[in-house]
A and B are shown apart, each in its own frame.
Chain A
Amino acid sequence: MIPNDRKYTRDHEWVKIEGSIAKLGITAHAAEALGDIVFVELPAVDKDVAIGDGYCVVESVKAVSNVYSSVSGKVVEVNEALDANPEKLNEDAYGQFIAAVEFTEVADNLMDAEAYEAFLAEQE
């Protein structure tokens, strides 16, 4: 099930707005495509990010993938649980944010859950 409390990018990332904070993560589709995730290179707290920046790198055994930001702003929190347990992204991609950003701007080309589901179907 794709949660409808957040928005999605064509690169299979999600963004959930909670007041002035945007939580960023990857979708279950992305986690599955990467395979067993072995390491998440979390951004530094206080790092400035802009829309489209690769702010995080996710590694599986045989691949690496950039995760791109759909907001601009400053990282205020990272999900440190992923440091020790990167597999949480495979197990519960929608329940695990990667970084929380105090944002100034949100990308204007995001999809809602329904549109993302259609986008996935189209990709098949």
Chain B
Amino acid sequence: MRSSYKLIFERSREGRRAYDMPELDVPCACGTIPEGMRAVSRLDLPELGEVDLVRHYTNLSRRNFGVDNGFYPLGSCTMKYNPKINEELAAMFNSVHPRLDADMAQGCLRLMKDTEDMLCEICGMDAFTLQPAAGAHGELAGLMHIRAYHEHRGDTARTTIIVPDAAHGTNPASAVMAGFKVKEIKSAPDGGVDLDALRAAVGSDTAGLMLTNPSTLGLFERNIKKIAEIVHNAGGLLYYDGANLNAIMGIVRPGDMGFDVMHINLHKTFSTPHGGGGPGSGPVGVKSHLMPFMPVPVLKEDEDGMIVPDYDRPESIGKVKSLYGNFGVIVKAYCYIRSLGGRGLKEASENAVLNANYIMHRLRGAYGIPHDRTCMHECVVTPGELVDYGVHTSDIAKALIDRGYHPPTIYFPLIVHEAMMIEPTETESRETLDEFVDAMLDIAKVAKTDPGAIHAAPVTTPVGRPDEVAAARKPIVKYW
């Protein structure tokens, strides 16, 4: 049954309340607010009884789909299971004020320092900052290190960041926000970096290259050593976009591949929940030559063994976020790493790669596979011959919704026409993968015999396909 759902504002009845406050036990001081700064009207917020408020949000949640509801193979987003214990343990630190004197917050500071050290080992970097709040924020902070590095050497002509055309949209956007120009290079036919294009692109203006490895096609960049050499010989630095780190933990490390600076998405590889769009966390790792530029404060251990925030760093890029970062998210990532240990992290990556290859193998024949070789943690497929029946990637996505799955990432990477990027993660069982593939095969079959049924999808959801054109032409972005 399709239906819209009342907004909380439409449930409001004057005078109802879901809060209570104690009696004010000190004299009122409202009169101290200067006349001109006093509220001129009552806030127009909804008034509900507590049970109605609870039902409103509970029912809203039932119109949503998370990893706990079902398989969520959204490519590049690493929608693995989010352990329950980690939520509980992160809440242990809820009442710690961030401006406590360092000696009163040693637990939080030490936990952060220990997390930094573990991320260094996992990634082969020399130091980490946990300040950035998300992946794109990490990119920005990382690129600021590259900028500061060249600036402090007086090499001010290095104004260009090279970005492959297969890159996430955040890469070029982050580069511009860090004050760089962007030079986009075409990918090789296999989706990797075209070495000739790279050689032609580098020069005295090259500040650095941003790269995801495995690439956004889910393939390992076999020429990585050569790429690092070309960029470094040209005087540039190498940035690692850690969105795809889940493929390689304990197997190969960005630092050993030649990367100078990188970010991690804790809300992908390290299992912290994505919260329907955030909060994430985007720690940035650097090699020693970039350490002077790290954002303040840098955590260090003093002679008494106390962890203290160090602000006295004259070459620092400054701050990219207030306070220390998304601490609550960092705790969950710490819990995840400690739960699995080194062996468990490697096991996670191995099984993520195994699951992706298993899906790709089973889809072969029914769907197009533009780059048919061993993939890493995700695979890219296309509708193949289904487009001859008028069935496109977006239709397949909607048909998957009716079969109980969150669709893969669609129409990305941009270099593959009609791409579907499937990332199963390691936390899915074989039968989940089999059932998903069976659904994909069923869709392919129906697409040929009854394409209208695919075009009608989804039919099981609370609402049908939205009119996105109307939404963008005449934006309604609040309730009056």
Query: CA–CA, A59 to B411, complex, Å?
Result: 18
Chain B residues 49-64 with CB under 8 Å of chain A are none
Q: Tell me how far the C-beta of A3 lies from the nearest C-beta in chain B, rounded to whole angstroms.
A: 26
Interface of B, helix, strand, loop or mixed by DSSP: helix
A59 to B469, CA, bound (A): 11
Interface residue B343 (Cβ < 8 Å from any Cβ of A): no
Which chain B residues border A36 with CB–CB below 8 Å? 469, 473
Contacting residues, chain A, for B473 (C-beta < 8 A): 36, 38-39, 86-87
A61 within 8 A of B: yes
* B68 contacts the other chain (CB 8 A): no
> B411: nearest residue on chain A (CB-CB)?
A62
Chain B: minimal CB distance from A39 (Å): 7
- Docked Cα-Cα span, A36 to B469, in Å, equals 7
Closest Cβ of chain A to B317, distance in Å, is 30
**Chain B residue nearest to A36 in the complex (CB):** B469
Chain A residues whose CB sits within 8 angstroms of the CB of B411 once the complex forms: 62
A38's nearest neighbour on chain B, judged by CB, is: B472
Query: Considering the chains assembled together, what is the distance between the CA atoms of A31 and B469 in angstroms?
Result: 14
Nearest-neighbor residue (CB-CB) of B473 within chain A: A38
- B468 within 8 A of partner (CB): yes
- CB neighbours (8 Å) of A39 from chain B are 472-473
In whole angstroms, what is the CA distance A87 to B473 when docked? 8
User: Which residue of chain B has its CB nearest to the CB of A90?
Assistant: B469
Q: How many residues of A contact B (CB 8 A)?
A: 8
| Complex alpha-carbon distance, A38 and B469, angstroms | 6
Total A-B pairs, Cβ < 8 A: 14
Min distance, Cβ B412 to any Cβ of chain A, angstroms? 11
The residues in B between 428 and 480 inclusive whose CB is less than 8 angstroms from any CB of A are 468-469, 472-473
Chain A, range 60-75, C-beta contacts under 8 Å to B:
61-62
Cβ distance B272 to chain A, nearest Cβ, rounded Å:
29
* Distance, CA A60 to CA B473, complexed state (A): 9
Q: What 1/0 mask marks residues of chain A from 47 to 67 whose CB sits below 8 Å from any chain B CB?
A: 000000000000101100000
**How many angstroms between the C-alpha atoms of A36 and B473 in the bound complex?**
9
Name A21-56 residues within 8 Å CB distance of B: 36, 38-39
Task: Mark interface residues in B236-261 (1 if CB within 8 Å of A CB, else 0).
Answer: 00000000000000000000000000
**B289-303 vs A, Cβ < 8 Å mask (1 yes, 0 no):** 000000000000000
Q: Which of chain A's residues have a CB closer than 8 A to the CB of B468?
A: 61
Distance in Å: Cβ of B394 to nearest Cβ of chain A: 10
Smallest beta-carbon distance B414→chain A, Å: 11
A39 to B475, CA, bound (A): 11
Q: How far is the CB of B95 from chain A (nearest CB, A)?
A: 45
Docked complex Cα distance between A70 and B469 (Å): 29
Complex-state Cα separation, A123 to B469, whole angstroms:
28
**Chain A contacts for B469, CB-based, 8 A:** 36, 38, 61
Complex CA–CA separation, A38 to B468 (angstroms): 10
A100 to B411, CA, bound (A): 37
**CA of A61 to CA of B465, assembled, Å:** 14
Chain B, residues 369-395, CB within 8 Å of chain A (1/0): the string is 000000000000000000000000000
What separation, in Å, do the CA atoms of A59 and B475 have in the docked complex? 14
| Chain B residue with the shortest CB-CB distance to A61 | B468
Hey, what's the 0/1 contact readout for A71-103 against B, CB within 8 Å counting as 1? 000000000000000110000000000000000
Q: How far does the Cβ of B43 sit from chain A's closest Cβ, in whole Å? A: 32
C-alpha gap A63/B337 in the complex (Å): 40
Docked CA distance A62–B410 (Å): 12
| Residue in chain A with minimal CB distance to B472 | A38
Can you pick out 12 interface pairs between chain A and chain B where the beta carbons lie within 8 Å of each other?
A36-B469, A38-B469, A38-B472, A38-B473, A39-B472, A39-B473, A59-B472, A61-B468, A61-B469, A61-B472, A62-B411, A86-B473
Q: Which residues of A contact B (CB under 8 A)?
A: 36, 38-39, 59, 61-62, 86-87
A36-B469, A36-B473 known; 12 other A-B pairs, CB under 8 Å? A38-B469, A38-B472, A38-B473, A39-B472, A39-B473, A59-B472, A61-B468, A61-B469, A61-B472, A62-B411, A86-B473, A87-B473
User: Which 4 pairs of residues, A with B, have the shortest CB-CB distance?
Assistant: A38-B472, A36-B469, A38-B473, A61-B468
